[in-house]
Structure 1
Amino acid sequence: MDYQRKKKLTFSTIGLIFLFSGVEYAVILPTIWRYLQTLEAPPYFLGLALSAFSLSGLLSGPLFGYWSDRTQTTKKIILLCNIFEIIGNFMYFMGYSKWLLLSSRLLAGIGTGAGSSIFGFLTRSTASEDRATVFAAVMACRQAGLLIGPAFNIFLRLCDFHIGPFIVNKYTAPGLFMFLLWMLLQLAVVFMYWDLPPTERRKTDSISERHEEENVHGLGEENNEEEVEEEIVPLMTSQELVGSYGSMMTSSQSFEERHIKVLEIWFSCNFVLSAVFVPEFLREEVVVLLAAQFITLFNQTALETMVTPLTQKYFDFKELENSVMYCLGGVVVIAGFLLVHWLSRHFTERVVFTIGLTFCNISCIWCLIFLANPLGQFQLVLTEFIIGVFLQALGLPFVAVAQVSLFSKVTSERTQGFSQGVRRSVGGLATILGPLWGGGLTENMYIMVGVMVALLILLTVGKK
């Protein structure tokens, strides 16, 4: 099979991974609270179950990313992560007790750590100028999953039968459904996913092939051999190839390798702490992008938590109205990703990032002015609410895609999996703290939204 076909199948499989992760979130979230109630779980168990999923993903991301950097492979990691998803969702389907359900979300969350390896893989296998476009397409797949996920619940809520000792109803059916989807995805990864070579190595291979072809035709044999060697030598500075050609290392390279080995041991013992103290993560541009990851996700999840109580209080929205609202929001987000996909071909990531921050700033300031203490008639307040949500949903894709692409360029490509794991862990921390902030201050909107505005302004100033 030729390279281009392998690349298309591999990228399609990656799209399925992110699509299914979005579907899982959308089919489980609407019913998990009532599911816990049937298991006689106290109210705080909902927060535990949701946080457990984010927490295990936060911890597993850097670990799997570091593993992919060391091996320069991702297929085995994805297969392992899918096993965690399969087992976790089957445990969710089994039910029995609130503790089993909590454990199921903890295990499933470990499976999300594959995202770090995948982003590292995409960084290595795509050209720098195409990276934002590829990231936008991949991240849009997850949003598509969030959009179509509620549609599956329309059918899953009708389930009422037994499979052996297990009950299949509207609460357990989402777990069984995702168990089957992840099983199918496991087969897709086995047969449709390849660990493609890095971009620079591929270019060198093509140069070598061209030179060999010229040699066959008798065109400058000696000169071509020298050029091929010149092209290959720079690649040997990578850690993996240096280790394979020990006889070619100089004494300074051996000294450098010994230091790298020491760092590897440190990473293995405590990879999270090491990431904090590695100078690469203390550079200004890296800190700004990590702050962007945290602040945007913190604000997003805080607003998502605030939206439902707000619509109930001022508009008397029920489940149907909220579902329609989330679906429309998903449409706006997907439209934003498509717009970013187009803009990234004509503008730099920095411009896209600035546009996104502008939308987010306007949205939060709008919410602070008009929604912290809504005044006026129903139609006016509803219009103000729609504008605020629309601006927030539209700005997120710009910031999300641009900061991922920029982060891949300002961090070392050799440790890209680990770097993306750190970035995703920062995002995981935001998704844990955001709902706690939003849920605890629904009656103090000025404080809640005011802090969010301050964080965005701080990020905007830091970006400059």
Structure 2
Amino acid sequence: MVRFGHYIHENHIPEWKTHYIGYKLLKKTINQYAARTSNISEEEREEFITTFSKLLDSQIEKIVLFVIEKQGLLAKWLKYLSRRQTDAHCILVTNSEAQTHNELTENGTIIADVEAQSNVKLSEEYRNVGRELLRLLEYVEMNTTGLRKILKKFEKRVGFRLRERYLASRINHPYSQLQQVFRQVGIGALMATISQNLIQLRMETLNRDQRSNSFSLFGRPSLPSKVLEQEPIIKAIEGALHKLTREATFISFVANSLLIPEPEDQPEELEEKEYHFWSIQLNLCNTFLYMVNYYIVVPTSDLYAEQLHVPPTMNGVIIGAMPLTALVSSLVYSWWSNYSYTAPLIFSTLLLISGNFMYAVALYYNSVWLLIIGRGLSGLGGARAINRRFLVDHVPAKQLTSASAAFVIASSLGMAAGPSLAGILNNLDFKFGGAPVNNVTSPGWLMGFLWITYLILVIVCFKEPSRNSENLQDNSKPADSRDIKAKNVSSDYKLETPLLNKSGEDSTSLLEVVAVEPVEKEKPMQGFLELMKELTLPVRILLTIYFMLKFASEILISESSLVAQLYFDWSSAKAGLFVGGLGLTVLPICALVANNISNKYEDRVIILWSECFVGLGVIGSICYEPIFQYNIFQYMFSAILLFVSANVLEGVNMSLLSKVMSSRLSRGVFNCGFLSTEAGTLARAMADGLITLTGKAGVAYLLNLTMIPTLALVISTIFVTWTGYYSLY
């Protein structure tokens, strides 16, 4: 098994070794304290925690000051290169202006050659700065890894959760040194200078080469991005900076919703062996069809209930039967997928086929129970747990993030397509085998046949992945240091003369560690008690927020047809198109948050403000008659505000949850993805149940009797978030 100290020894930068975190000293301090934990008082324990925290502070200060010193030297180097670039350009311009026309014709080639050589040399110098900057990023990443591991070791040996207390107190300080390590604003500025100057030099070269053809670079605004694509060092720095700061992109931001652990490096032959294109596509198709299946009945479920001679508010039970039974099926499929994917996938599809046809023929048999049981069977067929486990275990590391994002996008598109399809099917009216096919039964018929098609594709095209690779990973022998050496891009670009001279030896250097704890995967939870220990305060808060936003969204969507018909006399088709339009806003919202908001503001700030806007959306949705009349503008504006805010909140909430959850919560049956799915499913079921329960008072009171409890839930969640605000880092 690979040891962390050995890994550092193989991948460190020799001339910087005295500036690394003193892992050996910190580990020795922990071991000395752990040896006598049974004989110390509570006061001594607090004193040790304070002393150890100060020791960590001194190590972080050493790292931060070194990083700042290196940034200053790199900035000085860039300033020198910029002055050389300006001087060279001025000299060439002066020389060319001094020439007569004939002389310019004769000597033009010489001047162009000199300019080209100067640009080549300067470009290489800028690349050298970039390579040194990349080494600095790798140095920071290695030290942040050491900090995480020493905090984990402290918790394991001492039995006190120092990580939450230490990080929350340090990161939230106005002069936080940890923020200097994690944010790296200065490094971003250095990278911008390097990339801009490389672009300028390359564009000058291209402009000179194409001048005879009257080629205009200014007519091609996309050229700078193409130039950067030809600069591997810029791409390497961007990758390292993204890995260090976890800066959100649209793909990574969307992928966080699944709470899938970060992909690990895999051998190329393993990736090729595990990759099966059609299995991944069928996995995506499953989640798309399931979300269509869930929401396609929303616009017409109240009409179906009326035709079966029950109150229209029974639509809450009709819609909610699916998430209620899915609470059970998620656990079963999560366990079953430990042994097979094909078998539970076929079984779940058969349940969905049966459930949808039962939903379709319930009108023919005039049975509301047949309708509810059909929806319950559809919920038992929900294979989201299988889909997620398949992504985690059998999608190659290089495709995992994009596959996860595609999974979430497929879910969002399914949510939008479901109600829209219900609106399109609104005018159907014929019989199939004696059973009516109309606006209320057509969703069941359509989904039944779609699932039959999907079942055929699964049987023909889905490939059961081999599980030998997992066993090999679990039972692998200790790897040779040459095999586990990290990819060090800067090793190929090491400068002949380092920016800092090699200093003296440090007895507490991490590089002297020979035998430290092995770097191995933490085992997933084996029971409920272990699970509860891993549910730290931030995780509990974020799961509570997830429950609230799903509850509020479900109330809005499930009662939309009833509210719109009561107050505005909308048809089911119009209500379906409105809900479908709301669903289409999900992806643009994710793009806006990922590319702009999330990279400018802290996650916890966005969460708190989003919760407030959800609350405003709920307040706006309440009917205030007879004070003033409930109108279309109030309903649509409040619905859009509530739905959009809930989706912003969901994206940022899941992104932060992926950062604060432990590695044990990312794997196994009781993983954080499973917990969030259960929380969201329970919220949907309870929201739909509330609609039916309050509907007994009459449809006229439905809106306020559902929105007021929702507002109370939102306010309670805001209070919980505020009390634990400084733990959300």
Q: How does the TM-score come out when normalised to structure 2?
A: 0.47
Could you tell which deviates more after superposition, 103-112 or 5-14? 5-14
Amino acid at match of 1:78: L
Equivalent residue number for residue 508 of structure 2: none
CA drift of 1:61 comes to 0.7
1:365 equivalenced with 2:616 (yes/no): yes
Aligned residue among 536, 549, 560 for 1:296:
549
SS in 2 for 1:443: helix
Equivalent residue number for residue 424 of structure 1: 677
Could you tell which deviates more after superposition, 122-131 or 430-439? 122-131
1:462 equivalenced with 2:724 (yes/no): yes
The answer to whether the 8 Å contact 1:93/1:176 transfers is yes
> Residues 166, 367 of structure 1: CA spacing in aligned structure 2 closer, same or farther, 3 A cutoff?
closer
CA drift of 1:459 comes to 3.3
Give the structure, 1 or 2, with the largest relative contact order (CA under 8 Å, sep 6 or more).
1
Aligned residue among 312, 319, 344 for 1:50:
319
Between the two proteins, what is the percent identity of the paired residues? 20
> Structure 2: how far apart are the matches of 1:312 and 1:157?
15
Could you tell which deviates more after superposition, 80-89 or 32-41? 32-41
1:101 equivalenced with 2:371 (yes/no): yes
Aligned residue among 83, 90, 95 for 2:350:
83
> Structure 1: how far apart are the matches of 2:555 and 2:609?
19
> Residues 100, 22 of structure 1: CA spacing in aligned structure 2 closer, same or farther, 3 A cutoff?
same
Equivalent residue number for residue 21 of structure 1: 290
Equivalent residue number for residue 442 of structure 1: 703
Equivalent residue number for residue 325 of structure 1: 578
Q: How does 1:127-146 map to 2 (within 5 A)?
A: 134-146=403-415
Q: Name which one, 1 or 2, has greater alpha-carbon Rg.
A: 2
Structure 1 residue runs of 5 or longer lacking an equivalent are 209-222, 241-259, 264-273
CA drift of 1:79 comes to 1.7
CA drift of 1:294 comes to 1.3
CA drift of 1:87 comes to 1.1
1:355 equivalenced with 2:622 (yes/no): no
SS in 2 for 1:427: helix
CA drift of 1:92 comes to 1.6
Amino acid at match of 1:455: T
Could you tell which deviates more after superposition, 402-411 or 47-56? 402-411
> Residues 297, 450 of structure 1: CA spacing in aligned structure 2 closer, same or farther, 3 A cutoff?
same
> Structure 2: how far apart are the matches of 1:459 and 1:127?
36
CA drift of 1:193 comes to 3.3
Amino acid at match of 2:544: A
Amino acid at match of 2:455: Q
1:164 equivalenced with 2:433 (yes/no): yes
> Structure 2: how far apart are the matches of 1:200 and 1:280?
30
> Structure 1: how far apart are the matches of 2:661 and 2:375?
29
Structure 2 residue runs of 5 or longer lacking an equivalent are 1-268, 486-517, 695-701
> Residues 74, 237 of structure 1: CA spacing in aligned structure 2 closer, same or farther, 3 A cutoff?
same
SS in 1 for 2:703: coil
1:153 equivalenced with 2:422 (yes/no): yes
The answer to whether the 8 Å contact 2:282/2:462 transfers is yes
> Structure 1: how far apart are the matches of 2:279 and 2:553?
31
Could you tell which deviates more after superposition, 384-393 or 139-148? 384-393
The answer to whether the 8 Å contact 1:438/1:448 transfers is no
> Structure 2: how far apart are the matches of 1:50 and 1:382?
22
> Residues 98, 15 of structure 1: CA spacing in aligned structure 2 closer, same or farther, 3 A cutoff?
same
CA drift of 1:431 comes to 0.7
More helix, by proportion: 1
Could you tell which deviates more after superposition, 357-366 or 437-446? 437-446
RMSD: 4.6
Amino acid at match of 1:442: L
> Structure 2: how far apart are the matches of 1:199 and 1:398?
35
CA drift of 1:371 comes to 5.6
> Residues 423, 446 of structure 1: CA spacing in aligned structure 2 closer, same or farther, 3 A cutoff?
closer
> Structure 1: how far apart are the matches of 2:656 and 2:377?
28
Q: How does 1:184-223 map to 2 (within 5 A)?
A: 184-196=453-465
Amino acid at match of 2:282: T
The answer to whether the 8 Å contact 1:31/1:171 transfers is yes
CA drift of 1:358 comes to 3.2
Aligned residue among 376, 380, 387 for 1:110:
380
CA drift of 1:5 comes to 9.3
> Residues 131, 162 of structure 1: CA spacing in aligned structure 2 closer, same or farther, 3 A cutoff?
same
Amino acid at match of 2:711: V
The answer to whether the 8 Å contact 1:360/1:392 transfers is yes
> Structure 2: how far apart are the matches of 1:391 and 1:157?
27
Once the two structures are superposed, residues 264-294 of structure 1 have per-residue CA deviations (whole angstroms, 9 ceiling, x without a partner) of: xxxxxxxxxx547744554334423432331
> Structure 2: how far apart are the matches of 1:365 and 1:133?
34
> Residues 224, 142 of structure 1: CA spacing in aligned structure 2 closer, same or farther, 3 A cutoff?
closer
Equivalent residue number for residue 248 of structure 1: none
The answer to whether the 8 Å contact 2:359/2:441 transfers is yes
> Residues 281, 33 of structure 1: CA spacing in aligned structure 2 closer, same or farther, 3 A cutoff?
farther
CA drift of 1:74 comes to 2.4
The answer to whether the 8 Å contact 1:90/1:179 transfers is yes
Once the two structures are superposed, residues 28-47 of structure 1 have per-residue CA deviations (whole angstroms, 9 ceiling, x without a partner) of: 22223322333334556433
CA drift of 1:402 comes to 2.5
Amino acid at match of 2:330: G
> Residues 197, 408 of structure 1: CA spacing in aligned structure 2 closer, same or farther, 3 A cutoff?
farther
Once the two structures are superposed, residues 307-350 of structure 1 have per-residue CA deviations (whole angstroms, 9 ceiling, x without a partner) of: 55665677665545533432321121132244567679x969x9
Once the two structures are superposed, residues 370-394 of structure 1 have per-residue CA deviations (whole angstroms, 9 ceiling, x without a partner) of: 8664988969746853662464254
SS in 2 for 1:40: coil
How many residue pairs end up in the alignment? 411
Q: How does the TM-score come out when normalised to structure 1?
A: 0.71
Once the two structures are superposed, residues 89-111 of structure 1 have per-residue CA deviations (whole angstroms, 9 ceiling, x without a partner) of: 12222221222222111111101
The answer to whether the 8 Å contact 1:88/1:107 transfers is yes
> Residues 30, 323 of structure 1: CA spacing in aligned structure 2 closer, same or farther, 3 A cutoff?
closer
The answer to whether the 8 Å contact 1:329/1:393 transfers is no
> Structure 2: how far apart are the matches of 1:404 and 1:187?
37
> Structure 2: how far apart are the matches of 1:109 and 1:153?
19
> Residues 118, 81 of structure 1: CA spacing in aligned structure 2 closer, same or farther, 3 A cutoff?
same
> Residues 438, 450 of structure 1: CA spacing in aligned structure 2 closer, same or farther, 3 A cutoff?
farther
CA drift of 1:448 comes to 4.0
> Structure 2: how far apart are the matches of 1:317 and 1:162?
26
Could you tell which deviates more after superposition, 368-377 or 178-187? 368-377
Aligned residue among 421, 436, 444 for 1:175:
444
CA drift of 1:15 comes to 1.7
